[in-house]
Amino acid sequence: MSVKVVIHIGPPKTGTSAIQYCLQHDRQRLAENGIYYPKHTTDVNGISSGNLNSIYDVTASLGRSINKGKVDKLINLCEKLSMHTLLLSSEFFFENMKEVSCAFPNAIFIAYIRNPLDSFESLYNQSVKRHHKVDPIKNLPKLPKFYLTKLEAILDEIGASHFILRAYSKSAFVGGSIIDDFYSILNVTPPLITSKSINPSYSFEALEFKRWINQFCSHSLALKADKILQNFKSDLGPFSLIEPKTYELYKEQAVCFLNKLQSKHCIFGFEGLLDDVHNAKQKLYKNQKLSEKDFNRVANYIDHKAPEVYKSICNALYLSSYRSCYTGTYGQAFIKKYKLSDISDKYMYKTQVINFIKRLLGKTTNAEELPFMLPNSGDISRLRNTLRLSDDVSDVDILRELAFVAEKNHDIGLAYMFMKRAQKLRPNGPLINKKIKLYERKIDSANTEKQIPK
């Protein structure tokens, strides 16, 4: 029995999360129609890397690499189960098409074509939402085409005959939705309940608030904030961050590029996509600056929904007291509810700091959990070797000296963190306790000192 291989590759921002969610929850019905879709996991936001791990391994030397044994096992399993089609989906495949196409030389690849103008804003918003982006969007003279430029190169290299190209457009979707359209390719009736809201867009206020906390929050804390911010409602409605004149220029460039692509390759539903681009009206333009009133609305929302997250953000902000994110209007407004001494003992020794100390001691930890605002310090063993310190010098002495160095460089937040760890190891050390009180006073009084007229 010959197994047909169909691989959905995205690209990003073309409804991949919704498609994967639906396929994952419709595996039994797909199997009844002769299509095998391997199981995969999702994160706390319902986002998934799809079937990445179904064919890839992670190795220390090579990073991610295709496991030929996994590929063969999937094909053999399909034959054993009498499935005529193996269906895979992952945006990661798009970034590694050469090796994926070599592993499945006869595969058919599904890719959706989206208006590059929409993709540009959507990808920027996603970079703030999930990838710690801090800078505002750039108004470039030419519209970045990102994934479409790469897709064009892939089509030339692998051959367009291996691809099914579809327009990502409500006007072009068979059945009016991305799910109905995707199932039409499979020649399977779509399920009645297709998906839940996966990876919903931020409101403008939530986006700008997230961009602010990206300056000083760890990735793990930012992820907790992200889940809350996705549910923050705004009366503003849909928005655009591109200046109106630039938007019109980009629209013309998008039409030209799509026409060029269609002249070389057949895109199902292209006319509907092109009409959507021609008729697109810009959403309300917003300059990337929150009013203090709107900032406080988001902050209060987080405090109401998840006070422990608010306090953790507050704590991370205090530890960045030497930076503009703390001394600025937003930072000073955010810390009004809590002094550092009120929250530190309760919130300092959670996952972020524990993992940071593990790293100092040379122990394995998850890099994602490390405090984002901390420099890349070497561990204590490395410091011992570099400075040729004997075992007579304790970990407490090293942590204390690190605190003194940070204090001398006016990094009171980092000095406080080192000294608090030293206090854990030597709770009754008079100098340690004296310094901790001094650091707390300095950080807690920073707001007052800032307001004293010169």
CATH number at residue 257: 3.40.50
* Structural domain includes residue 39: yes
Q: Which residues make beta-bridge pairs with 65? A: 57
Q: Which residues make beta-bridge pairs with 7? A: 88, 109
Read off the pTM.
0.74
Question: pLDDT digits over 256-265, tens only?
Answer: 999 999 999 9
Residue where a domain stops, chosen among 241, 261, 279: 279
CB atoms within 10 A of CB 51: 25
Of residues 405, 403, 404, 380, the one with CA closest to residue 393: 380
* Structural domain includes residue 294: no
Rounded Cα distance between 310 and 365, Å, is 25
* Structural domain includes residue 295: no
One domain, residues 154 and 191: yes
One domain, residues 79 and 191: yes
One domain, residues 176 and 240: yes
* Structural domain includes residue 285: no
One domain, residues 310 and 249: no
One domain, residues 266 and 315: no
Predicted confidence at residue 197, as pLDDT, reads 63
Question: pLDDT digits over 349-393, tens only?
Answer: 444 445 555 555 555 544 333 333 333 334 566 666 666 677 777
* Structural domain includes residue 82: yes
Domain that holds residue 250: 4-279
- All residue ranges of the chain with pLDDT < 50 are 346-353, 365-378, 450-454
One domain, residues 347 and 424: yes
Predicted confidence at residue 320, as pLDDT, reads 83
Q: Which strands make up the sheet holding 163-167, listed edge to edge?
A: 35-36, 85-89, 4-8, 108-113, 163-167
One domain, residues 245 and 336: no
In Å, how far are 98, 378, 379, 417, 422 from 384, measured between CA atoms? 46, 10, 9, 20, 16
* Structural domain includes residue 289: no
One domain, residues 386 and 261: no
Of residues 379, 312, 384, the one with CA closest to residue 352: 312
One domain, residues 170 and 264: yes
Residue where a domain stops, chosen among 262, 279, 296: 279
One domain, residues 83 and 222: yes
Cα angle value 100/30/73 (rounded, 5°): 40
* Structural domain includes residue 102: yes
Predicted confidence at residue 444, as pLDDT, reads 72
Predicted confidence at residue 372, as pLDDT, reads 33
Predicted confidence at residue 266, as pLDDT, reads 96
One domain, residues 175 and 255: yes
Q: Which residues make beta-bridge pairs with 111? A: 165
* Structural domain includes residue 155: yes
Q: How many domains does the chain have?
A: 2
Predicted confidence at residue 145, as pLDDT, reads 87
One domain, residues 195 and 313: no
